[in-house]
Amino acid sequence: MDRRDPSTWLTSHPNFKWRDGMLDRYGARLVLDQWKHPAVEVPGHQSGINLADAGTAGVLLTLLDEEGALTDVVREADGWIVAIHDGEDDIQGFVGDTLGEAAAWALLAWWGEDLGIEVGASVA
């Protein structure tokens, strides 16, 4: 599993479910009532999620918000920061080149995923 790619971690996480509006790596937009994909069927769809897609990023941010975790989204010159709280008073920001990547790192951290690296860290 590629530790630099949060989409790999996200789609294999037990809490992950494909949601309406997400875009997969093949360019298929998920509309559950109309899902037709030649390779696989939902819910076993494992093609990978397209984190560069604005719709997918919006779905991930909505999940964080529904959990009560989302505190802030910041656009920086070279990327995005998605901030979540830890359930107490601490806030942590997760950085990504795209909004979806930052949201994915934040969602994985919220789910308590132990990635074996600092979540959102740059891995060479």
Contact status, residue 111 vs residue 119, Cβ threshold 8 Å: no
Domain boundaries, the chain: 6-110
pLDDT tens column, 17-61 = 888 888 888 777 877 665 554 444 454 455 678 999 999 999 999
Instruction: Tell whether pTM > 0.85.
Output: no
> Hey, is 84 helix, strand or coil?
strand
Please tell me whether residue 92 adopts helix, strand or coil conformation. Answer: strand
Express each pLDDT in 56-83 by its tens digit.
Answer: 999 999 999 999 999 999 999 999 999 9
Report d(CA 25, CA 50) in Å as an integer: 5
Tens digits of per-residue pLDDT, 85-109?
876 778 989 999 999 999 999 999 8
Which pair of structure tokens corresponds to residue 123?
């891995």
